[in-house]
Structure 1
Amino acid sequence: MDSSEEGRSRIAAPVALIERLDRDGHVLQSTLVYRWPMKIGRSFDADLVLDDPHLAPQHAELDDVDGQLHLRIGQTINGAVVGARHLQAGEVMALGVARALRLGNTRLRVRLASEPMAPEQPLDRHVTRAALEASAPLWRVVLPLLLVSMLVMWFDEWLDNDPGTPVNTYLSAMLMTLSATMGWALFWSLGNKLFQGRLAYMAHLRLALIYGLIWTALDSALPLLAFATDWSFLSHISGVVGAGVLCALVWAHLGLILPGHRVGVTAGVLTMYAVGIGLHIWFNEQRTGQMFTERYVTALPPPSWRLVDAKPTSVLIQDARALKDKLDKQAKEDQGDDAVEVVSGGDD
């Protein structure tokens, strides 16, 4: 607020506030309105002077007519856009409750002093976390997660390799995974720099490490739970759950980059996940005749980990007999396909 506005504020209370917005809807500049009409343009004679080459000297005028706010367009070639309507020179429109408008290349929003104040909106937790991490020491933000992630990667490599495997095998695998994680965080940080004006690399790296640990825990726990409870579907859906964790990570990254578009981002990520899973299941049905790629539980821990009693071998034999008709049908189809290929090859 300049000195002239401070002087007027002692005489009369403001009747409205005009806000200039950026492309994300954030306020760049605000101007108090003490009387109507309010002239807007590039001319110094205007009440609100805007430095926009796409504006006329007296581009538009806001006025209170019988208690309702009206917008009058001056002599301009670009006019104004209010909602889905493009106003030309000389046109008048009652704004009503839709008080967001575009004059030239400038977005404005008008708030009346008489209207009720909108309730406070909750701030996304990722945005709050990123603001705290920007001033926090490195070791408090990322280093603990980084150490835990490296230990988990080392343990996974130890399980996958034979005894006596050289140490450099473990180190190379860990460095490759770590480099991929840091590159992933850098990619999203560049998007943050593009849309928010700040890199926020540590915030994106923290998200990548957290969701990576979550996926590692689920990928290990689901097959073990399937073995312990005899619910094989828990192991079969591990890929679906992994895709969900990846989509949740993308959603969290986009939440930092586009905090003002949370609803659209959520809808887009959910749609992407649903379509991807649907196509995955459809392709599996076409190729293998079942929904999931995994045919059996992949984990084989000690028998003492079982929480349910083992089934007798007669149940296995009975289930195998039930598969006979299906397998015979599949074998005949495969033989028919092979015969067609042989005939086609002979014709060539």
Structure 2
Amino acid sequence: MNRLLFVEQLTADGEVLHRHKLTQLPIRIGRAYDNDIILDDPHTAAHHAQIELNQLDELIINDLDSFNGITRANHRERFFVVDGDAVYRLGHTRLRIRTPDYQVAAEQTDFTNHRWEGLLPALAGLVLLVATGLLTTWLSDLNQGTLSKYLLELVSVIGFALGWSGIWAIFSKLLNGQARFGRHLFIVSLGLAGLELWDYLSSMLAYAFSWETLAHFTVHPLIFICAITLYFHMRTAGNKRPGRLKLYLLALALAGSGISMTKQYQASNHLGDALYLSQLYPPALRISRDVSLAEFMTDIDSLKATVDSNRKDSSDEDGPKKEEGATQNSSAASGNSSSAAITSTPSQP
């Protein structure tokens, strides 16, 4: 029977390896050379499956009594009615069957072919790096350092950004044939600027509003900023699975945060990486209300009661141990005294 069909062999990620155009039914599939589609898969039979019409004039893919059979979405059946979106697995081979009237998806936006490429994003990234480096150096400069200090900071930051962008450019060239160095430089510049600005902004907000959480957990936002930067690097390099990539990077960021909290808890019995506000700013930045002396003393009394209670519990636990140790020491001393007395007594003739 004459009927136009397209049978596609897919990779594990759903990419098309081969597309076979066939005009005659039935279509036989397997490893034997008399098949219409010859598979190079040792996990398929010589005559594994056949595409044909059933009695209801439905297009089906039928198993030809093979050992591994045909599965769709991990379900094995004797035959399946063909669906253009379904993937059928024969051994290790993945097939998709479509007719000429299959409705393809709408055209996607080409994010790799626009003006924001090349020299323009590279210059924007360098300007952003210079501005961020000068600003952070100036904010942390309490002794009015010399010009060489500022230049050294800029050279180190720009050198790191250029090296990092070069590595990603080589990676992009290997994956999709385009280096896109300017885009990678712009991405890493945004990432570094975000890390620096968040470091200062979080401490200022914690001081202004008395948000202790921002001061206690400073590492975790930085981890997620790094994950976002990696996402855009990998998308620029040619990753075609943004949804899966987001899940992987989110899991990686959560794992990094968990490891950080675990290390801090082992070191200090606290989940946070800082126990108090370490950055102090001018009082004019304070937005939250001031704490009165009475409230402060009340908090001190409450803290003192907690410390005394913990100290008492610790003393109660150490008391029996000390008494037991004293008893053992006393017994040992008595034994030593008796031995000394026996030794010093003169023998009788």
TM-score between both structures, scaled by the size of structure 2? 0.69
Amino acid across the alignment from 1:38: I
CA contact (8 A) 2:26 2:52 kept: yes
Change (3 A) 1:280 1:56: closer
CA deviation vs aligned residue, 1:125-172 (integer Å, no higher than 9, x gap): xxx444336xx5533222112211122112212232344534333333
Q: Distance in 1 between matches of 2:168 and 2:205?
A: 34
Q: CA deviation at 1:270?
A: 2.2
Greater C-alpha radius of gyration:
2
1:109 is matched with 96
2:80 is matched with 94
Q: SS in structure 1 opposite 2:19?
A: strand
Q: SS in structure 2 opposite 1:70?
A: strand
CA deviation vs aligned residue, 1:210-256 (integer Å, no higher than 9, x gap): 22222322222122122222323233333221122112223333444
Change (3 A) 1:198 1:37: farther
Q: SS in structure 2 opposite 1:293?
A: coil
2:14 is matched with 25
User: Quick check: 1:70 aligned with 2:57?
Assistant: no
Q: Distance in 2 between matches of 1:312 and 1:24?
A: 63
CA contact (8 A) 2:69 2:78 kept: no
Q: Distance in 2 between matches of 1:147 and 1:202?
A: 13
Q: SS in structure 2 opposite 1:309?
A: coil
User: Quick check: 1:147 aligned with 2:134?
Assistant: no
Amino acid across the alignment from 2:224: G
Q: Distance in 2 between matches of 1:258 and 1:322?
A: 58
Q: SS in structure 1 opposite 2:211?
A: coil
Report 1:152-231 matches (<5 A): 152-231=132-211
Q: SS in structure 2 opposite 1:214?
A: helix
CA contact (8 A) 1:43 1:57 kept: yes
Q: CA deviation at 1:92?
A: 6.6
For residue 16 of structure 1, the aligned residue among 5, 10, 21 is 5
CA deviation vs aligned residue, 1:312-342 (integer Å, no higher than 9, x gap): 33433332333224445379969x7xx99xx
2:342 is matched with none
CA contact (8 A) 2:7 2:98 kept: yes
2:282 is matched with 302
Q: Distance in 1 between matches of 2:135 and 2:129?
A: 10
CA contact (8 A) 1:24 1:260 kept: no
Q: SS in structure 1 opposite 2:7?
A: strand
Q: Distance in 2 between matches of 1:81 and 1:210?
A: 49
CA deviation vs aligned residue, 1:275-316 (integer Å, no higher than 9, x gap): 332343344344334331222333333222222332233433
Q: Distance in 2 between matches of 1:280 and 1:220?
A: 20
Report 1:103-142 matches (<5 A): 107-113=94-100, 117=103, 119-120=105-106, 128-132=110-114, 138-142=118-122
CA contact (8 A) 1:188 1:204 kept: yes
CA contact (8 A) 2:69 2:90 kept: yes
Moved more, 169-178 or 40-49: 40-49
Q: CA deviation at 1:201?
A: 3.5
Q: Distance in 2 between matches of 1:71 and 1:323?
A: 76
Q: Distance in 2 between matches of 1:146 and 1:331?
A: 60
Q: Distance in 2 between matches of 1:283 and 1:165?
A: 36
Moved more, 19-28 or 41-50: 41-50
Change (3 A) 1:92 1:305: closer
CA contact (8 A) 2:208 2:288 kept: yes
Change (3 A) 1:149 1:80: farther
1:264 is matched with 244
Q: Distance in 2 between matches of 1:159 and 1:330?
A: 43
Q: Distance in 2 between matches of 1:330 and 1:140?
A: 64
CA contact (8 A) 1:154 1:174 kept: yes
For residue 36 of structure 1, the aligned residue among 25, 37, 42 is 25
CA contact (8 A) 1:153 1:174 kept: yes
Change (3 A) 1:323 1:118: farther
1:243 is matched with 223
CA contact (8 A) 1:62 1:72 kept: no
Q: CA deviation at 1:209?
A: 1.7
Change (3 A) 1:119 1:331: farther
For residue 268 of structure 2, the aligned residue among 280, 288, 292 is 288
Change (3 A) 1:138 1:193: closer
Aligned residues: 314
Amino acid across the alignment from 2:97: V
1:4 is matched with none
Task: Tell me the percent identity.
Answer: 20
1:6 is matched with none
Q: Distance in 2 between matches of 1:122 and 1:226?
A: 43
Q: Distance in 2 between matches of 1:257 and 1:25?
A: 19
Change (3 A) 1:104 1:171: farther
